[in-house]
Amino acid sequence: MRILVTGACGRLGSAVADVAGRQDIEVIGIDRADWSHESEMPAMARFERGDCTDVKLLDRLLPGCDAVIHTAGPHGADLRDLGLTEFLDGNVTANARLLEAATRADVGRVMFSSTIEVLVGRDWKPSGAAVLDESFPPVTDTQYALSRYLLEKLAEQYAHQHGICTASFRFMAFGYSTWQSIGAELLARSLSRRDAARAMLLGAQRDDLAGDVFHVGPETPLTNYDVIDALTDPHAVLERQFPGASEILAKHGSPLRSDHFWPVTSIRKARLILGYQPRDTFARWLREKGWPGRDG
């Protein structure tokens, strides 16, 4: 299998290249930046310095590819510098060109990275302290989240019009903490870069997606009951689900906050349709720190 990965040197794109290489999937990567990660470039990957909005570059690289995993485009960090027009150009118009190029090259699968900010906003509060799924209505509060939501609709409608397999992945946070320090963020808010990459690769190997949206987050046992209780007593909820975990967090200097427990995103759809199952779980992190307890 051969996959074109845009933004291949970024947080998500580099993880996709790494995980794909371990699955013997060939990667052709595009990025405007150079590879700057501590690890070497994956053996199954080759990289082209360039812009994924360059149609001539796409027309040269896409033939022979089985799928595209698109991780490039303006992100939340660009909110200080870009207005709505620039976000729409980068996350909607440019992706329409990508879809057209994929169609010309007879590439039947295009996977897009989106963001949970479509529902939870920039400060993660608009949808409240709750367990969310794909049925919740969008609550965009920035030009970034709006552009990603419109990208999702573009992918859906293009799939219906042209028969191409597309999907959008709304990710919880990833790549902002090291595995050693991530701790309680794995309860709800964060997942590992590798798990995010695994989800997109699972989608890239399907032929039956037509603009589907998937929530991708960590494995968590938390319910709405837990989320509400954690607003006043987070340690009681933690001990209910992971007995002895408070001691492990304290020992490793990882404070526990009520907002570690929300928002929770259900990964049921991704699990049922894609077979997505996070590997880098909070229980795994605890066990590596000496926790003898059961999984939550």
Residue 134 CB neighbours (<10 A)? 15
Give me the CATH code for the 2-178+192-219+266-280 domain, please.
Answer: 3.40.50.720
The 10s digit of each residue's pLDDT in 213-248 is 999 999 999 999 999 999 999 999 999 999 999 999
pLDDT at 217: 98
Integer angstrom CA distances of residue 143 from 146, 195, 211, 235 = 5, 27, 21, 36
- The radius of gyration of the chain from alpha carbons, rounded to an integer in Å, stands at 19
Q: What are phi and psi of 47, to 5 degrees?
A: -120, 145
Confidence check: pLDDT of 194 > 60: yes
Confidence check: pLDDT of 295 > 60: no
Q: Where are the domains of the chain?
A: 2-178+192-219+266-280
The 10s digit of each residue's pLDDT in 123-158 is 998 888 889 999 999 999 999 999 999 999 999 999
The 10s digit of each residue's pLDDT in 64-98 is 999 999 999 999 999 999 999 999 999 999 999 99
pLDDT at 184: 96
Q: For 26-30, 44-48, 70-74, 272-276, which range has the lowest pLDDT when averaged over its residues? A: 44-48
The 10s digit of each residue's pLDDT in 93-121 is 999 999 999 999 999 999 999 999 999 99
pLDDT at 296: 43
Structure tokens at 99: 């879809």
